[in-house]
Amino acid sequence: MSPPVQPASPESVVPAVDAASPAVREFDDFYRGISALGADPATTIEQLRDGFSRWGDFGRDPERVDYVHVDAGGVPALWAVPEGAALDRVLVCSHGGGYACGSIYSHRKLYAHLARAVGCRALLVDYRLAPEHVHPAQVEDLVAVYRWLLEDQAIAAGRIALTGDSAGGALCLSPLLRARELGLPMPAAILPLSPWIELEALDPIHETNDRDLIGTRDVVISSAEVFLGPAGDPRDPLAAPIYADLHGFPPMYIQVGGCENFVADARTLARRAQEAGVEVRLDVYADMQHVFQLLAGAAPEADDAIARLAAWVRPRLGLA
| Residues with catalytic function | 166, 260, 290
Rg for the chain (alpha carbons), in Å? Answer: 18
CB 45 within 8 A of CB 98: no
Q: Which amino acid is at 119?
A: G
Count other Cβ atoms within 10 Å, centred on residue 143. 22
CA distance 182 to 165: 25
Question: Please, how many CA atoms are within 13 Å of residue 187, restricted to the half-sphere of its CB?
Answer: 29
CA distance 28 to 25: 5
CB 46 within 8 A of CB 30: no
- C-alpha distances (whole Å) from 151 to each of 80, 91, 161, 282, 287 are 21, 16, 16, 32, 43
- C-alpha distances (whole Å) from 94 to each of 11, 43, 271, 277, 303 are 24, 25, 23, 25, 19
